[in-house]
């Protein structure tokens, strides 16, 4: 579908002799034409931001909608406004289907004093825009219409019921059902599914289980702490198209509020001073960086005695002492998203959904993984999230997990994250090495475990990690 949009945008660009940009009705980028001009003014901050971040801000949206584009049935010319970051005027072609606006095609207008596009060319471009409107409407309708079939796949028990649900979804998708897809879990979700998600084959809302083992009647494989989860089945043209899919997922998460300043110049769309625009980072951008940046989770453990004082000082390890700047706050109720490995066809969709749920839970457990986490990059949580009933309630670890011993538990987890290297752990915790040894001794007293034993360290490390899962 993405290729269809790109072809149509290129057709409009050729008709009007100007680079075109297609956005949906929420001002999120779908496709854009090539720009080969040497004129820096043509790439004003608003257009640059839209292409780079694939979306416009609420302030930019409000400013453009003030020209009546949401009600227009024909081209709308919008003058330049340098103070708002719009250095060149725009021509907006509303994209409609059966009278309902589906999106907008944007073109850079000619310089003031020069004739605009030929009316015949504009008329032809509007016909292309109508074809785009049909595609956008069909895509939104298809995703909504398949919510029941998609939900049935995710909630059916294993065996013949699940096989029948998968067959029904495949029949509804037609030939597209044999293509490449990726399952996404967004949780907790506050209510109904969105009307449409760009690039989605199907969208639905499913219940989440109340605990690791769930309660009777809970949907299998939905994990979490109760409530609802949003399930999205995204189409992929190839495995290389996963990055745009992650961007689409990031847009489903809430963004931090932007500083309120006057006019379109307040937007992060470049409509204000470039320095201020560059300083703002949305949760979606943070999510994409965390997901695609190669973060693979905690440092693997290595056999080293707890009281081995031979390890020299080392830079602080990425322990559990905090999340990076810009990450969403930790906690069981923050919204996160999990992305499964891509699958071809639908036979492995139930497994992919379990991966997506596990990744979303891991993103809550460890903020360094999220807020958008890929299953392939969540490290030990790939195993921990799939364990059976009450995996954290181990009698040895239970005393350490009491609220009164939270600092001791954190010390033990950072020590184990640092592969048992005392120097690294002390540096990561910001404490003296002797203080670390004292705390580790207290951990052994509480748990009855021997931190010189590899098996005891593995048990404790698993229990500490699993205790974060909700």
The residue ranking higher by pLDDT, 214 or 257, is: 257
Instruction: Give yes or no for residue 162 having a pLDDT over 90.
Output: no
pLDDT band with cut points at 50, 70 and 90 for residue 315: very low
CATH match for 2-141 among 3.90.1170.50, 3.30.450.40, 3.40.50.620, 2.40.50.140: 3.30.450.40
pLDDT band with cut points at 50, 70 and 90 for residue 124: very high
Instruction: Give yes or no for residue 323 having a pLDDT over 60.
Output: no
Instruction: Give yes or no for residue 193 having a pLDDT over 90.
Output: no
pLDDT band with cut points at 50, 70 and 90 for residue 177: confident
Instruction: Give yes or no for residue 455 having a pLDDT over 90.
Output: no
pLDDT band with cut points at 50, 70 and 90 for residue 283: very low
Instruction: Give yes or no for residue 469 having a pLDDT over 70.
Output: yes
> Which pLDDT does position 426 carry in this prediction?
93
Residues in the chain: 470
**271 and 57 Cβ atoms separated by less than 8 Å:** yes
d(CA 341, CA 181): 9
Least confident of 167-176, 191-200, 354-363: 191-200
Instruction: Give yes or no for residue 401 having a pLDDT over 70.
Output: yes
d(CA 72, CA 66): 11
Place of tokens 């999220």: 370
Mean pLDDT across the chain, nearest whole number? Answer: 73
Read off the pLDDT of each residue in 67-96 and give the average, rounded to a whole number: 85
> Where along the chain do its domains lie?
2-141, 144-254+330-384
Global pTM?
A: 0.53
Read off the pLDDT of each residue in 178-191 and give the average, rounded to a whole number: 90
pLDDT band with cut points at 50, 70 and 90 for residue 269: very low
352-400 residue pLDDT tens? 999 999 999 888 888 888 789 999 998 888 888 776 545 556 788 888 8
Distances (CA, A) of 139 to 104, 146, 150, 275, 346: 16, 11, 15, 37, 19
> Which pLDDT does position 392 carry in this prediction?
58
196-235 residue pLDDT tens? 677 788 889 998 753 333 333 334 444 444 589 999 998 8
**76 and 67 Cβ atoms separated by less than 8 Å:** yes
pLDDT band with cut points at 50, 70 and 90 for residue 255: low
> Which pLDDT does position 253 carry in this prediction?
85
């Amino acid at each position: 579908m993405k290729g269809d949009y790109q072809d149509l945008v290129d057709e409009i660009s050729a008709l009007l002799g100007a680079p075109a940009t297609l956005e949906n009705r929420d001002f999120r980028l779908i496709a854009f034409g090539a720009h080969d001009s040497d004129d820096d003014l043509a790439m004003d901050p608003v257009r640059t931001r839209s292409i780079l971040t694939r979306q416009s801000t609420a302030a930019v949206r409000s400013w453009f909608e003030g020209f009546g584009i949401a009600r227009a049935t024909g081209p709308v010319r919008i003058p330049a406004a340098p103070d708002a970051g719009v250095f060149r005027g725009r021509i907006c072609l509303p994209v409609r289907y059966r009278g309902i606006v589906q999106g907008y095609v944007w073109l850079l207008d000619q310089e003031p004093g020069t004739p605009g596009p030929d009316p015949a060319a504009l008329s032809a471009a509007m016909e292309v825009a109508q074809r785009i409107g049909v595609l956008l409407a069909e895509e939104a309708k298809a995703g909504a219409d398949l919510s029941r079939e998609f939900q049935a796949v995710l909630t059916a028990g294993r065996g013949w019921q699940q096989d029948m649900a998968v067959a029904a979804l495949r029949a509804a998708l037609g030939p597209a059902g044999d293509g490449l897809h990726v399952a996404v879990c967004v949780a907790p979700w506050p209510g109904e599914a969105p009307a449409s998600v760009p690039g989605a084959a199907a969208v639905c809302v499913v219940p989440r289980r109340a605990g690791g083992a769930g309660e009777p009647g809970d949907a299998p494989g939905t994990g979490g702490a109760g409530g609802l989860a949003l399930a999205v089945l995204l189409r992929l043209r190839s495995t290389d198209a996963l990055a745009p899919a992650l961007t689409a997922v990031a847009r489903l998460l809430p963004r931090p509020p932007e500083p309120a300043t006057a006019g379109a110049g307040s937007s992060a769309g470049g409509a204000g001073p470039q320095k201020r625009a560059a300083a703002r980072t949305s949760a979606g951008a943070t999510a994409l960086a965390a997901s695609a940046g190669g973060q693979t989770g905690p440092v693997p453990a290595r056999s080293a005695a707890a009281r081995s004082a031979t390890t020299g000082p080392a830079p602080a390890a990425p322990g559990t002492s905090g999340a990076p700047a810009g990450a969403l706050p930790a906690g069981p109720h923050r919204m996160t998203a999990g992305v499964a490995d891509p699958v071809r066809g639908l036979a492995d969709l139930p497994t992919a959904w379990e991966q997506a749920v596990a990744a979303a839970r891991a993103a809550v457990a460890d903020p360094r993984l999220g807020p958008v986490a890929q299953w392939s990059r969540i490290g030990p949580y790939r195993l921990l999230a799939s364990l059976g009933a009450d995996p954290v309630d181990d009698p040895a670890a239970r005393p350490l997990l009491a609220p009164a011993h939270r600092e001791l538990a954190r010390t033990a987890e950072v020590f184990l994250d640092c592969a048992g290297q005392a120097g690294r752990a002390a540096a990561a915790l910001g404490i003296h090495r002797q203080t670390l040894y004292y705390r580790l001794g207290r951990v052994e007293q509480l748990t009855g475990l021997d931190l010189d034993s590899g098996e005891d360290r593995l048990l404790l490390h698993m229990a500490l990690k699993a205790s974060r899962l909700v």
